[in-house]
């Protein structure tokens, strides 16, 4: 075997062995995830149904809410005595509160640890927007959810609204 051929063969073997890797865990077929155990969070887009529209409206002091975008996040708009109110909900079935808190802190938000329905939760405030407040908590069945309430005109305590929404979400996920 020529020197050039031996070098090419050696390089090929190194390249082939260098590209292999082992992935641990159990593979799942696409669409086979069975959810976290809570029927309210078992299917994509149904997470937006965990708290009813009338409950959302009551929690944020609105006369009613109109549903908006549904996907990785869910949005509602409402109108109350102090004007428009915007609500956002997210739930990540494999998320963690540690990850969420780290992201908020990285963005410069003020994060306060609280207890809601006996569970750890975090109130989140954006210093440049005092009319908004968020909450994030781990669902007992797994994953992490979050709510944001923003009332551009002010007048209501957005943190009271998200805390109530957090309570309602924890009630259905237990």
The residue length of the chain stands at 174
- List strand residue ranges (DSSP E) for the chain, in order: 62-70, 73-80, 83-92, 110-116, 119-125, 132-138, 144-150
Q: Strand pairing of 132-138 and 83-92?
A: unpaired
* Pair of tokens at residue 11: 């390089």
In the Cβ-directed half-sphere of 108, how many Cα atoms lie within 13 Å? 3
**What is 52-81 written as a DSSP string?**
-HHHHHHHHTEEEEEEEEESSEEEEEEEET
- Count of beta carbons in the 10 Å neighbourhood of residue 10: 10
Q: 158: buried, middle or exposed (CB in 10 Å: 19+, 13-18, 0-12)?
A: buried
Contacts 24+ apart (CB under 8 A), 67-70: 70/45
Q: Give percent of the chain above pLDDT 90.
A: 48
Q: What is the mean pLDDT of residues 29-55?
A: 63
Residue 13 has pLDDT above 60, yes or no: no
pLDDT tens digit sequence for 107-129: 999 999 999 988 899 999 999 99
Least confident range of 14-28, 89-103, 113-127, 157-171: 14-28
- Contact call for residues 99 and 150 (beta carbons, < 8 A): no
Q: Residue 127's pLDDT is what?
A: 92
Residue 171 has pLDDT above 70, yes or no: yes
CA-to-CA distance for 89 and 60, rounded, in angstroms? 13
pLDDT tens digit sequence for 65-120: 998 877 778 999 998 887 899 999 998 888 899 999 999 999 999 999 999 988 89
Q: Which residue has the tokens 């969420």?
A: 100
Q: Residue 155's pLDDT is what?
A: 72
- Contact call for residues 127 and 108 (beta carbons, < 8 A): yes
Q: Which residue has the tokens 């109350």?
A: 80
Residue 135 has pLDDT above 60, yes or no: yes
Q: Residue 156's pLDDT is what?
A: 78
């Amino acid at each position: 075997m020529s020197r050039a051929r031996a070098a090419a063969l050696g390089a090929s073997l190194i390249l082939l062995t260098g590209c292999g890797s082992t992935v641990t865990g159990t593979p799942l077929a696409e669409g086979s995830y069975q959810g976290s155990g809570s029927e309210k969070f078992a299917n994509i887009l149904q997470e937006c149904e965990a708290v009813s529209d009338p409950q959302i409206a009551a929690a944020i002091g609105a006369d009613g809410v109109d549903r908006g975008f549904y996907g990785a996040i869910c949005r509602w708009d409402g109108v109350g005595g102090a004007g428009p109110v915007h609500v956002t909900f997210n739930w990540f079935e494999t998320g963690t509160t540690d990850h969420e808190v780290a992201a908020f802190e990285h963005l410069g938000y003020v994060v306060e640890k609280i207890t809601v329905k006996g569970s750890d939760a975090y109130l989140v405030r954006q210093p440049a927007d005092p009319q908004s407040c968020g909450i994030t908590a781990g669902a007992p069945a797994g994953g992490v959810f979050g709510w944001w309430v923003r009332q551009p005109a002010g007048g209501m305590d957005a943190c009271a609204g998200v805390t109530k929404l957090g309570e309602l979400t924890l009630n259905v996920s237990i």
